[in-house]
Amino acid sequence: MAASPKTAISDLISKLIAQYGCGPIKFSGTDEAFYERHLLFDNVVDANDVTLRERYEAVARSVRDVLSQRWIRTEQTYERENPKRIYYLSIEFLLGRSLANNITNLMLDPIAAQLIKDKNVDWLGLLEQEPDPGLGNGGLGRLAACFLDSMATMQLPATGYGLRYEYGMFKQSIKDGWQEERPDHWLRREDPWQIMRPQESVEVKVNCSFEITGGSLRAEVGKPARLFGIPRDLPIVGYSGRTINSLRLWAAGAPDYFDFQEFSHGDFVGALAEKLAAETLTRVLYPDDSTSLGQGLRFVQEYFLVACSLADIIRRFRRSNTDWSTLPDKVAIQLNDTHPTMAVPELMRILLDEAKLGWDEAWDLTRKTLTYTNHTLLPEALERWPIQWFEMLIPRHLEIIFEINRRLLDDVRNRFPGDEGRLARVSLIEESPTKHVRMANLAIVGSHSTNGVAAIHSELLRTITVKDLAEMFPERFNNKTNGVTPRRWLLLANPTLARAISDAIGEGWITDLSQLSKLKPLADDKSFRDNFRAATRATKARFANWLKSKTGETVDPDTIFDCQIKRIHEYKRQLLNALRIVVLYNRVRENPNLEMTPRTFLFSGKAAPAYHLAKLIIKFINNLASTIDNDPTMRGQLKVLFIPEYDVTLAEHLIPASDVSNQISTAGYEASGTSNMKFMMNGALTIGTRDGATIEMAQEAGEKNFFLFGLTAQQVADSRGWYNPHWHYEHEPETRAALDLIFSDHFSRHEPGIFEPLRDTLLTHGDYYMHLADLTSYLDADRRLVELYANSEEWARKAILNVAGSGKFSSDRTIAQYAGEIWNAKPCPVG
Ligand code: 26Q
């Protein structure tokens, strides 16, 4: 007899509970009443008359019910076993939505499917109710989120620490082709995933107070203040739901009793203003991903993250351990870029002033506990903070930094007598024009491991960027090539392909991505190729529908989807991609009978609000798109679309639907890239330069299955002295015609001259990122790519070989290497 829906759900829940071993989850109603109970008791609404948002909240809370006991048990296990714990400190976590991810990782899909069916829920509409928490700019923040997923899946005792920005990454809209920014008030409605833990608040003492004047935050020097960090925890569900770790996000506040004290003196309003000023600290994420513009508030945010997190870590350490000397056996703190580098002086301060240890022991423990990851070589992104700010906010830390530096420079003098240049380069303090602390130097000196995020990047870091320090401490330098979680980026984002893969090789790949290599022989199997092609075609059609419903834009799934999605930056060279399209456009204009494979060029990405040239590049892409749209000869041949508001959710839709992935940074400038890996595991072919992790991807898949072009990092460096973009303009007819067309205002008929700054950057100012040097070889690679597309069997074969070769780029592999080679941490399974 067929089970009634009710029994089916009860059965599944019982199985789940048995699997998690938490004992029965107790409800007053029937088992299946999870969802209805929440609608009734949380929202107090009639189940027949609810909004989609209320449905979302009820489903999210039901899922949270399922994970709560396991979440508590995870922490209990860590308390009991007292393993070495990993703490991942990051100023950004770009999580993306949680509901579907948690359902997948808890393996609740059958229950969700049943619920959708029984209650006739508009599932896609419901998922859209969850805001995409944009607590990060791009790669670095998303990497932190992938790492949390891997650490939980691998049952590592890990906690993420970040800031709970009230406003995340700005929302982007496009008006007349220009980027416009709107605030992202993602917390307008209560977030069902965050658990506030006021009892675990920490106090942070600083040497100045804050006030808001004229809309900006000002420091009042010499008036010490106490801030409070109020934590909220988010569950990080490992795949299979065995381990549920936490991401702890700090919000800034003033102590609750402040008003009473001040009130008794009569200044209620002044006291309240102080509280609001304190809360301003975590109000907004800085939307710059590659410039250290020297914002005072950012400096305070960085210290606040460090002070709250270290206080929490040390408090937890002291609960189970009495001997300070065991700190590095119990605690590994990974600094995600230099943003949390104040952990070096802060940990020293705790060990010296609170634990009362001597300098040598404190220094030894600090270095053995901390490790640092570098994510960029761009000089403008290397953080340097004015020592005045340290003096004002945290003078004790500055004292400690000076003492670290004094000892460091003594060491340099001993080892390299008379080498004044080295002394100046290694110093933690940059002397001119005004004194600044070099945060990367501090992180390297104050930790026992410094890693880059792809082989070429680690090599350039070691041999060029911080050469002198690498010569002093060679054993500290290592590489950890980035990875991405296959749960979110393949299983969840591309269910059709995931099913085809699992049908062919089983499900082992979900937690051991190297098993994708089993697909290699299937590249020669006609029926698998057919399945693969059908999966891609279905995903493209699904994307086209989604895009239509979200933006009203139409794209044709029978054209090549050629994508570049990432932050807009000169070094990433969206402008090179646009030049390629202008050349193709010119070819059709000149020869309207040209047989061209129909293509759709998709762009998406945000520009830092103060980065004018990046914003002009967005404008140019949009004008290019509309000019082509309005040209009847282009119809059915070329289409360009800039999709606004790039976020994790958009990436989850677009990447699986892509045929071509553009990874075209000037060689030597993209530290790693991570979207490149997501495209590869979803079966797109890469057209790209030999930069970042793309080099390793091509090695894994075989260079013949890649479309590599352009100067190498070495060639870029070697030609800096003599490179002349005018040469390309003079000698390459297609390059010249493309530029002339742009400068003739063909794409700016009603806005003459607006693209002049593009001429300046590409010609007048010397084309620093060498667009023109790479344009012809890009076009050549593009020609080969389009030729291949005409042979759909060969295309599918190469795409399958790419998926088969993508196993290395799981963040599980990256995390296994961090755990084994840097942290010396082991899994701590939850019983
Ligand atoms: C610093 C100071 C003040 C304000 C902002 C910042 C800031 C914020 C974010 C500086 C840098 C970032 C982010 C950098 C980033 O995302 N880097 C990317 O990291 C990825 C993960 O390792 C790599 O794959 C990318 O290549 C790298 O660009």
Residue-wise pLDDT for 747-779, tens only, equals 999 999 999 999 999 999 999 999 999 999 999
Of the two residues 87 and 272, the one the predictor is more confident about is 87
What three-state secondary structure class fits 162? strand
Confidence at 265, pLDDT banded by 50, 70, 90: low
Q: Could you report the per-residue pLDDT of 318-349, keeping only the tens digit for each?
A: 999 999 999 999 999 999 999 999 999 999 99
What is the maximal distance between C-alpha atoms in the chain? 89
CA of 345 to the centre of ligand 1 (A): 23
Residue 212: predicted pLDDT: 76
- Whether 3 shows a pLDDT value over 50: the answer reads no
Query: Which region holds residue 125: left if phi is over 0, alpha if psi is between -120 and 50, else beta?
Result: alpha
Of the two residues 381 and 539, the one the predictor is more confident about is 539
Does the CA dihedral 139-142-147-153 come out positive or negative? negative
Residue 559: CB atoms within 10 A of its CB come to: 18
Least confident of 13-17, 179-183, 362-366, 735-739: 13-17
State mean pLDDT over 234-263. Answer: 84
State mean pLDDT over 229-241. Answer: 97
- Whether 258 shows a pLDDT value over 80: the answer reads no
- Ligand 1 atom with the shortest distance to the CA of 298: 3
Q: Whose CA is nearest to atom 24 of ligand 1?
A: 673
Confidence at 211, pLDDT banded by 50, 70, 90: confident
| DSSP 8-state code for residue 175 | E
Residue 27: predicted pLDDT: 37
Query: CB of 679 within 8 A of CB of 444?
Result: no
CA of 2 to the centre of ligand 1 (A): 55
- Taking the C-alpha atoms of residue 208 and residue 253, their distance in angstroms, rounded to an integer, is 15
Q: Whose CA is nearest to atom 11 of ligand 1?
A: 289
- Taking the C-alpha atoms of residue 576 and residue 712, their distance in angstroms, rounded to an integer, is 16
- Ligand 1 atom with the shortest distance to the CA of 453: 22
CA of 664 to the centre of ligand 1 (A): 18
Residue 31: predicted pLDDT: 44
Q: Whose CA is nearest to atom 21 of ligand 1?
A: 140
Where do the H-state alpha helices sit in 506-559? 526-551
Burial class of 142 by CB neighbour count within 10 A (0 to 12, 13 to 18, 19+): buried
Residues with CB under 6 A from ligand 1: 137-140, 143, 286, 288-290, 292, 298, 375-376, 381, 383, 453, 482, 670-674, 692
Q: Could you report the per-residue pLDDT of 28-76, keeping only the tens digit for each?
A: 344 445 788 888 888 888 888 899 999 999 999 999 999 999 999 999 9
Q: Could you report the per-residue pLDDT of 360-387, keeping only the tens digit for each?
A: 999 999 999 999 999 999 888 899 999 9
Q: Which of 372, 207, 229 is nearest to 305 (CA)?
A: 229
Residue 121: predicted pLDDT: 86
Q: Which of 35, 39, 107 is nearest to 70 (CA)?
A: 107
Least confident of 38-42, 460-464, 484-488, 726-730: 38-42
CA of 726 to the centre of ligand 1 (A): 32
Active site residues: 375, 566-567, 572, 674, 678
- Taking the C-alpha atoms of residue 83 and residue 330, their distance in angstroms, rounded to an integer, is 6
Residue 271: predicted pLDDT: 74
State mean pLDDT over 579-605. Answer: 95
Q: Whose CA is nearest to atom 8 of ligand 1?
A: 289
Q: Which of 382, 460, 476 is nearest to 716 (CA)?
A: 460
- Whether 14 shows a pLDDT value over 60: the answer reads no
- Taking the C-alpha atoms of residue 674 and residue 680, their distance in angstroms, rounded to an integer, is 10
Q: Whose CA is nearest to atom 4 of ligand 1?
A: 292
| DSSP 8-state code for residue 29 | S
| Residue 7, amino acid | T
Confidence at 269, pLDDT banded by 50, 70, 90: confident
Q: Do the strands 195-196 and 685-688 form a parallel or antiparallel pair, or are they unpaired?
A: unpaired
- Ligand 1 atom with the shortest distance to the CA of 381: 10
Residue 548: predicted pLDDT: 97
Residue 28: predicted pLDDT: 37
Q: Which of 89, 131, 138 is nearest to 288 (CA)?
A: 138
Structure tokens at 414: 């001993």
Least confident of 107-111, 262-266, 667-671, 682-686: 262-266
CA of 482 to the centre of ligand 1 (A): 13
State mean pLDDT over 448-457. Answer: 98
Q: Whose CA is nearest to atom 9 of ligand 1?
A: 289
Structure tokens at 461: 């870091």
- Taking the C-alpha atoms of residue 93 and residue 90, their distance in angstroms, rounded to an integer, is 7
Three-state SS sequence of 490-504: HHHCCHHHHHHHHHH
Residue 217: predicted pLDDT: 72
Residue 29: predicted pLDDT: 40
Least confident of 3-7, 199-203, 348-352, 446-450: 3-7
Where do the H-state alpha helices sit in 321-428? 327-330, 343-349, 359-369, 387-393, 395-415, 420-426
Residue 11: predicted pLDDT: 55
- Taking the C-alpha atoms of residue 578 and residue 663, their distance in angstroms, rounded to an integer, is 13
Burial class of 603 by CB neighbour count within 10 A (0 to 12, 13 to 18, 19+): buried
- Ligand 1 atom with the shortest distance to the CA of 136: 9
Least confident of 114-128, 266-280, 375-389, 520-534: 266-280
- Whether 267 shows a pLDDT value over 90: the answer reads no
Residue 41: predicted pLDDT: 86
User: 373: which residues sit within 8 A by CB, 6+ positions away?
Assistant: 334, 335, 336, 337, 450, 451, 452, 453, 480
CA of 289 to the centre of ligand 1 (A): 5
- Residue among 90, 290, 479, 676 to mutate when testing ligand 1 (max atoms within 8 A of CB): 290
CA of 334 to the centre of ligand 1 (A): 16
Q: Whose CA is nearest to atom 5 of ligand 1?
A: 288
Q: Whose CA is nearest to atom 15 of ligand 1?
A: 140
CA of 134 to the centre of ligand 1 (A): 14
Does the CA dihedral 528-534-538-543 come out positive or negative? positive
Q: Which of 700, 722, 724, 714 is nearest to 772 (CA)?
A: 724
- Residue among 289, 465, 674 to mutate when testing ligand 1 (max atoms within 8 A of CB): 289
- Whether 117 shows a pLDDT value over 90: the answer reads no
What three-state secondary structure class fits 342? coil
Confidence at 149, pLDDT banded by 50, 70, 90: very high
**Percentage of the chain with pLDDT > 70?**
94
Residue 99: predicted pLDDT: 97
- Ligand 1 atom with the shortest distance to the CA of 137: 9
Q: Which of 802, 607, 592, 591 is nearest to 687 (CA)?
A: 802
Q: Whose CA is nearest to atom 25 of ligand 1?
A: 673
- Residue among 91, 302, 375, 663 to mutate when testing ligand 1 (max atoms within 8 A of CB): 375
CA of 375 to the centre of ligand 1 (A): 6
Q: Whose CA is nearest to atom 1 of ligand 1?
A: 292
| Strand blocks (E) in 214-284 | 216-237, 244-253
CA of 822 to the centre of ligand 1 (A): 21
- Ligand 1 atom with the shortest distance to the CA of 294: 3
Q: Do the strands 429-430 and 178-182 form a parallel or antiparallel pair, or are they unpaired?
A: unpaired
State mean pLDDT over 635-650. Answer: 96
- Whether 21 shows a pLDDT value over 60: the answer reads no
Residue 518: predicted pLDDT: 98
CA of 382 to the centre of ligand 1 (A): 10
**Rg, the chain, Cα only:** 27
State mean pLDDT over 178-193. Answer: 97
| DSSP 8-state code for residue 286 | -
Question: What is the H or E stretch that residue 323 is in?
Answer: none
